Amino acid sequence: MDLHNQGRQKFMEFPFVSAPHRDLMVNLLSTVEDRLGSHLLPCTLPLDVQHCQNESGSAQASLHIRSGLQSSQVDFILGSWLHCKLPTGGALNITSLSAYLNPSTDAPNFMIELIQSSPTSLVFILDLPPRKDPVLSPDYLQTFYENTQLDTHRQMLAKLPEVQPYVSSSLYLRSVLSPTVVMIQIGAEAEQNVTQ
């Protein structure tokens, strides 16, 4: 089996997250690969980079990067998961997928991340970082944000009782995310409803 398929198989396991979390990530990645697969090169990272862990196995990570073909508008896609046992006895699990476009298009890049540091809550981050200043380019704002109803979906999520706005304690994270980011925390009741 080649590097791409071996690494992809391990990456797609998402072994430390709940079944709904895993299913969401697998479906999302499969959709991206189905739509963009013919525009992407195989992952060529060495296997020990595609999946690594510390000596005790208390921290593990998987990384999958696929570059776009020269003719593609996609520069590269990057998927990853991280599992780390915490000193408190819990674990931190982060899954993410990002797509970066090349200069042949000014469409926004894409990033989705799910962060779980306790069994009772999940942080959901969806960011479409603009490639033009949306304040100075109202057509850009309308095309990529208003017409896609991104904020309408955010408002619908915000109305759910299990959902609270999330503000990261990390200044770095707050500074790298765009003003259009959707960042929410989903409580345990939402997760229980999903698994039923």
47-90 confidence digits (pLDDT tens): 999 999 999 989 999 999 999 999 999 999 999 999 999 988 88
Dist. CA 142–CA 46, nearest whole Å = 42
Query: What totals of helices (H) and strands (E) does the chain contain, helices first?
Result: 7, 8
Burial class (CB in 10 A: 0-12, 13-18, 19+), 91: middle
Extract the tokens encoding 120: 């009772």
Predicted local distance difference test score (pLDDT) of residue 112:
95
Task: Give the pTM.
Answer: 0.87
Q: What is the per-residue pLDDT across 9-51, written as a single tens digit (0 to 9) for each?
A: 889 999 999 898 999 999 999 999 899 889 999 999 999 999 9
- In 40-73 the beta strands, taken as DSSP E runs, fall at 51-53, 59-67
Cα–Cα distance between 82 and 169 in angstroms, integer? 19
Distance CA(130)–CA(178), nearest Å, equals 7
Distance CA 111, CA 158 (A): 20
Q: Could you count the other beta carbons within 10 Å of the beta carbon of residue 196?
A: 5
Among 158, 176, 162, 5, smallest CA distance to 96 is for 176
Which phi-psi region, left, alpha or beta, contains residue 35 (left: φ > 0; alpha: ψ -120 to 50)? Answer: alpha
183 neighbors 123 (Cβ within 8 angstroms) = yes
Q: Give the whole-number percent of the chain exceeding pLDDT 90.
A: 71
CA distance 95 to 125: 11
Number of domains in the chain: 1
CATH of the domain at 147: 3.40.1500.20
Residue 48 lies in domain: 3-195
Tell me the pLDDT tens digit for each residue of 124-155. 999 999 999 988 999 999 999 999 998 898 89
The helix or strand, by DSSP H or E, that contains position 35, with its residue range, turns out to be helix 19-36
